[in-house]
Amino acid sequence: MSDAPFVARDRAWHPPALSPAYRTSVSRSPRHAPISFPQTLSETTGPVFGHDLPGPRDNDLIHNFAAPGAAAIGPRIIVHGRVTEETGRPVPGALLEVWQANAGGRYRHRKEGYIAPLDPNFGGCGRVITDADGAYHLRTVQPGAYPWPNGGNDWRPAHIHFSVFGSGFGQRLITQMYFEGDPLIWRCPILQAIPSEAAVKTLIATLDMRASVPMDCLAYRFDIVLRGRRQTLFENRMEGG
Amino acid sequence: MSGAADRPADLKESPSQTAGPYVHIGCLPNHAGLGGPWAEDLGARPFADDAPGTRVVVTGCLLDGTGTPLRDAMVEIWQADAAGRYAGGGAAGFARRASDAETGLWRLETIKPGAVPGPDGRIQAPHLTLWIVARGINLGLHTRMYFPDETAANAADPVLGRIEQTARARTLVAEARGDGVYHFDIHLQGEKETVFFDV
Ligand SMILES: [Fe+3]
């Protein structure tokens, strides 16, 4: 495993801390500029989770909280893709943890008050570790859109939350995956806090008929990109030679 | 549209999005009361019970610009062992904590990290690295916690030394509460705003 420093993060590509249309950010955004310093082992290393961590059904949200013989209600989908660094290099062994609302738009959480019903066979979370090629796949139900207290009538587009552990703590990332064709994407203050339309589009999973299973489920493709590491001269020569 | 395999190797990092109010469902499902298939949440214990070192307790709160504790946040901790080494290919030294749903407090039992090698042969004072996510935080916040009883090491620390406004460097030093207990409040805004890093 490389301990080479990460390439500087392009903070202008990410949503700014203070995004007033997303009201909670107003009191939770630091006002000082973050301070940079040359990365140390504290940033270039990070926890590594083994392939034995996830259980056999951890990447199957249709069944991982369901009673024996039962399944979650909703449109059945596969979500798959690859995790790479900005250099295009795959990130094997990355831990992805996901969570989402059920097909009606309701989370299984004690503070959640939306009137849509809970699904007794759906927990709404799972996890998977990327293979040697950086690839992963999950099976779940398509989450519903849900209303949230922000403006007078704000609705989150259907989304799946992704937490990603790459190969160093400085790469740590949490983001959200959206679905191609959802008109709520362009009305969401959280998503619209991202400055560029090009950046927003990288969070929209595309329908992937090739990976769908006839008479079973549709598939969506969602690739994730983590910060790259600076290559040392030695590594360049290894790859170039 | 081209697939990942045939895109040029000059990609942009996936943009961050807030962890939202339900991050505990995904990252701390047992804490969230889901009663799922997992015996223990990830990061429940940063070190094995028999790991060498001085046992310490770290408590803390995250406070917003109005001084209100965050009760829906998640704090991740990454630290070296007592000898100043990071886990090589393992998860020792990693911990995850939730803000308490009533008080906003989090609490970590760990071992005090040793000094860690820094850039140019310099030594970093013992510290914890913290990463904070919550509703209303668009990009996870990196910060560090240093120990108040390491005055000389802190004075020589290369990262603390980067902070030009020395009064702000004090926001990274925990408060000693005796018996190995340290308290570390993180202020997201205001006069006592904690120093956050662009690592
Ligand atoms: Fe959500």
Tell me the pLDDT tens digit for each residue of A34-87: 999 999 999 999 999 988 899 999 999 999 999 999 999 999 999 999 999 999
**Does the residue B17 lie in any domain?**
no
Contact partners, residue B63, CB within 8 Å, separation at least 6? B69, B70, B104, B185, B186, B187, B188, B190
Cross-chain Cβ contact B26/A14 below 8 Å: no
Question: Catalytic residue at A229?
Answer: no
Instruction: Give A206-224 pLDDT, tens digit per residue.
Output: 999 999 999 999 999 999 9
Provide the domain count of chain B: 1
Domain A50-225 class in CATH: mainly beta
Cα Dmax for chain B: 60
Cβ(A123)–Cβ(A64) under 8 Å?
yes
How confident is the model over B183-196, as a mean pLDDT?
98
For the segment B9-56, what is each residue's pLDDT rounded down to a tens digit?
Answer: 689 999 999 999 999 999 999 999 998 889 999 999 999 999 999 999
pLDDT for the residue B199: 94
Helix (H, G, I), strand (E, B) or coil at B70: coil
Q: Is A220 a catalytic residue?
A: no
**Domain range annotation of chain A:** 50-225
Nearest to B93 by CA among B53, B34, B124: B53
Domain presence at residue B139: yes
pLDDT at A238: 44
- Give yes or no for residue A126 having a pLDDT over 50: yes
pLDDT value at residue A232: 67
Of A26, A36, A109, nearest to B22 by CB-CB distance is: A109
At B88 the pLDDT is 87
Whether residues B189 and A27 touch (CB distance < 8 A) is answered with: yes
Q: Assess if residue B140 is contained within a domain.
A: yes
Q: How many CB pairs under 8 A join A and B?
A: 261
State the pTM of this model: 0.95
Residue B99 maps to a domain: yes
Given a cut of 60, whether residue A116 has pLDDT beyond it is yes
Average pLDDT of span B88-115: 96
pLDDT for A234? 55
B29 belongs to a structural domain:
no
> Is 80 exceeded by the pLDDT of residue A231?
no
Give the domain CATH number at B49: 2.60.130.10
Q: Report whether B122 contacts B158 (CB < 8 A).
A: yes
Rounded to an integer, the average pLDDT of A14-21 is: 98
What does the pLDDT read at residue A133? 97
Distance CA B127, CA A64 (A): 38
- pLDDT given for residue A171 in this prediction: 97
Which residue from B118, B67, B74, B114 is spatially nearest to B93, judged by alpha carbons?
Answer: B114
pLDDT of residue A33: 96
The neighbouring-strand residues paired with A97 are: A127, A163
A20, with CB counted inside 10 A (0-12, 13-18, 19+), is: exposed
Average confidence (pLDDT) over B183-197:
98
Structural domain including B164 reads 40-187
- Span B74-95, pLDDT tens digits: 999 999 999 999 998 899 999 9
Task: Give the ipTM of the model, two decimals please.
Answer: 0.95
pLDDT of residue A111: 87
Considering only CB atoms, B64 lies closest to which of A27, A172, A203, namely A27
Token pair for B146: 């240093």
| Average pLDDT of span A100-108 | 97
- Could you read off the pLDDT of A154-166 as tens digits, one per residue? 999 999 999 999 9
Whether residue B11 is contained in a domain is answered as: no
B5 within some domain: no
pLDDT band at B186 (very low <50, low <70, confident <90, very high): very high
Of A37, A80, A177, which to mutate for an interface test with B (greatest number of B Cβ within 10 Å)?
Answer: A37
Percent helix / strand / coil, chain B, rounded to 5: 15, 25, 60
What pLDDT was estimated at residue B102?
95
- Domain-embedded: residue B7: no
Residue A233: its pLDDT value, please?
Answer: 55
| A-chain residue closest to B162, CA distance | A37
Q: What percent of chain B clears pLDDT 90, i.e. is strictly above it?
A: 89
Residues 185-204, chain A, touching B (beta carbon < 8 A): 190-191, 193-194, 199-200, 202-203
pLDDT confidence tier of residue B2, bands split at 50, 70 and 90: very low
Characterize the bridge pairing of strands A173-179 and A159-165: antiparallel
Q: Active site includes A14?
A: no
